Amino acid sequence: MRKLLVTSALPYANGSIHLGHLVEYIQTDIWVRYQKMSGNETYYICADDTHGTPVMLKAEEEKITPDELVKRVHQEHDLDFKEFNINFDHFYSTNSIENKELSESIYNALNDNDKILSKEIDQFFDESKQMFLPDRFIKGICPKCEAKDQYGDSCEKCGATYSPTDLKNAYSVLSGTEPIRKKTLHYFFKLSECTEFLKKWIKNDTLQPEAQNKLKEWFEMGLKDWDISRDAPYFGFEIPNAPGKYFYVWLDAPIGYMASFKKFAQMNNLSFDEFWKKESTTELIHFIGKDILYFHALFWPATLNYSDHRTPTKIFTHGFLTVNGEKMSKSRGTFITARSYLEHIKDPNFLRYYYATKLNSSMEDLDLNLDDFVAKNNSDLIGKFINIPSRTSGFVGKFFNHALMPLTSIKSEEGLMILKKIKDAKQTVDQHYEAREFSKLVKFIMQLIEELNEYISKTEPWKLAKEDQQLKSDSSLHEICSVCLKSFRSLSIYLTPIIPNLCEKIAAFYDEEIFNSFNLIQDDALKIKSYKHLLKRIEQDSIDAMVNSNSAEV
């Protein structure tokens, strides 16, 4: 049995969860559910990322305190995740005592290890507001790609990271004025001294090939020391023995993974050190978007290593979401929030399934085409998958008292071949789940579903029900329907990590609570309940209303 600690990137606490965010959480949740159903001890940890300038700005805009804002947003995020069946073992906050203590401890360890440097630097200062400007209080032209209106720490267009003073035509977000340069003391993590360690670290297949290539580019450019401090006022943790200086949000945010697990471990009598000590034999898996690769594949492992902690086993990086082939847009109504989806489409199974049909192990972007979303879900889940019990279960209820034929009583060679093929499919299912090749997995399972539908069409159980006036428990009709419903149950178990809410309803149809293990595929389910409607078709009107409601928010 493997022991895994799995994380998704921390959602930022200044806004709502949207469909772009959900790509990562759904991808991670599918993989975690698979690991748990395979019998591995797996914990899925996350937290709200609460510190930094954007939270301060949002709180100021709403005329509330940052603490009040992050508490309210945490409740909203938690509800959205639960309604999309994102099954965190613990969803916490970086604004916690555990995170404060760990951040200070790690900083002190880095300092003791001669990895912290303090020096005076030029920093932008807003004369009208009489304050130093943290990076998110500054906007300007990116020094690398010249994109306009980029923040002072990184470019959202090209992904470059830089110092705020590198921005061209910089201006204060607070006052709109041009800031002046002023000297201030800042603290730096000596990332430039970590190059050899990081080059060795990425040789262990920790990253995907595309991510490794990106790191090699950064190595060739030369790693620069990392400014981990910000001047007051700043919403975050004050640096030990440095009054008025605060940890930059990207220092304490990933430590939030540790803090969230530490709180969870305390509540569940688990060993924190077993998962985080340097000699740990457990697996630490991070799922992230490609826009934060720099922080997770350079700063984070170096911070862990030089503070005497274990480093990540794997970092799985995914691409961005586009909608209808274009970047999400508020003006076009395609910057869709999770809450808006739930209000209009309602069923999370559809989005989870559609994303699974697109997700793979690469860093490629994936597209949510809304027309295709409607067509694929209605065709695959309703027209093919749910079609199996709706075409066969009625006969079992009417003629055979809801009882399925035991496996040992099935004599049909074709029926036995179908059951064996679906049981033997587990090896391929395992391979695709483990490798995060969910699109290949769904295609493989849908082929089995289509073959089962062909078997139903060929054997025509509805005709047998009319022709045989003395139906017995060993009749062909009973055998055909039993093969189909046993197969449907196995296929539902395979799909449970992807569409857990729907498969929970299917489990109830077999008078079972949930499908919580792939070992259940070998069980000989003997009884079904009366079939009830499992899934409602997506109507175009719901899509239109969702898009229109998001357009109205601009």
359 belongs to a structural domain? no
Q: What is the distance between the alpha carbons of residues 546 and 554, in angstroms, rounded to a whole number?
A: 14
- 3-state SS string over 346-398? CCHHHHHHHHHHHCCCCCCCEEECHHHHHHHHHHHHHHHHCHHHHHHHHHHHH
Q: What is the distance between the alpha carbons of residues 445 and 437, in angstroms, rounded to a whole number?
A: 13
What is the pLDDT confidence band of residue 471, given thresholds at 50, 70 and 90? low
Please write the tens of the pLDDT for every residue from 21-73. 999 999 999 999 999 999 999 999 999 999 998 898 899 889 999 999 999 99
Please report the pLDDT score of residue 468 as a whole number: 61
299 belongs to a structural domain? yes
Residue 163 and residue 261 share a domain: no
Instruction: Work out the percent of the chain whose per-residue pLDDT is above 70.
Output: 98
Please report the pLDDT score of residue 62 as a whole number: 94
pTM, whole model, 2 decimals? 0.94
- CATH code assigned at 420: 1.10.730.10
Please write the tens of the pLDDT for every residue from 323-375. 999 988 877 888 999 999 999 999 999 999 999 999 999 999 999 999 999 99
Residue 131 and residue 101 share a domain: no
Please report the pLDDT score of residue 57 as a whole number: 83
Please report the pLDDT score of residue 474 as a whole number: 63
Residue where one domain finishes, among candidates 173, 189, 205: 189
Among 412, 441, 414, smallest CA distance to 425 is for: 441
Question: Is the separation of the CB atoms in 22 and 338 below 8 Å?
Answer: yes
Residue 507 and residue 415 share a domain: yes
Q: What is the mean pLDDT of residues 246-264?
A: 97
Q: Which two tokens stand for residue 178?
A: 């041009």
* Backbone angles phi and psi of 508, in degrees to 5: -65, -35
Domain count for the chain: 3
235 belongs to a structural domain? no
332 burial type by CB count under 10 A (0-12 exposed, 13-18 middle, 19+ buried):
middle
Q: In what order do the strands lie in the sheet with 326-327?
A: 326-327, 321-323, 366-368
Question: Is the separation of the CB atoms in 336 and 305 below 8 Å?
Answer: no
Convert 439-449 to b/e letters by CB count within 10 Å (16 or more is b).
bbbbebbbebb
Please report the pLDDT score of residue 401 as a whole number: 92
Residue 380 and residue 339 share a domain: no
Which range of residues forms the domain containing residue 217? 3-115+194-223+250-351
537 belongs to a structural domain? no
Residue 150 and residue 107 share a domain: no
Q: Has residue 552 got a pLDDT over 60? A: no
83 belongs to a structural domain? yes
Residue 67 and residue 206 share a domain: yes
Residue 265 and residue 124 share a domain: no
Q: What is the distance between the alpha carbons of residues 527 and 404, in angstroms, rounded to a whole number?
A: 6
Residue 86 and residue 152 share a domain: no
Q: Has residue 554 got a pLDDT over 50? A: no
> DSSP secondary structure string, 27-88?
HHHHHHHHHHHTT-EEEEEEEEB--SHHHHHHHHHHTS-HHHHHHHHHHHHHHHHHHTT---
Residue 270 and residue 288 share a domain: yes
- CATH code assigned at 10: 3.40.50.620
Q: What is the mean pLDDT of residues 114-132?
A: 91
Please report the pLDDT score of residue 470 as a whole number: 61
244 belongs to a structural domain? no
Please report the pLDDT score of residue 142 as a whole number: 93
Residue 163 and residue 36 share a domain: no
322 belongs to a structural domain? yes
- 3-state SS string over 391-434? HHHHHHHHHHCCECCCHHHCCCHHHHHHHHHHHHCHHHHHHHHH
What is the pLDDT confidence band of residue 469, given thresholds at 50, 70 and 90? low
- CATH code assigned at 168: 2.170.220.10
Please report the pLDDT score of residue 525 as a whole number: 67
Q: pLDDT averaged over the chain?
A: 94
Residue 462 and residue 419 share a domain: yes
233 belongs to a structural domain? no
Please report the pLDDT score of residue 389 as a whole number: 97
Q: What is the mean pLDDT of residues 456-476?
A: 80
Beta carbons within 8 Å of 473's beta carbon, 6+ residues apart: 400, 403, 405
Residue 344 and residue 207 share a domain: yes
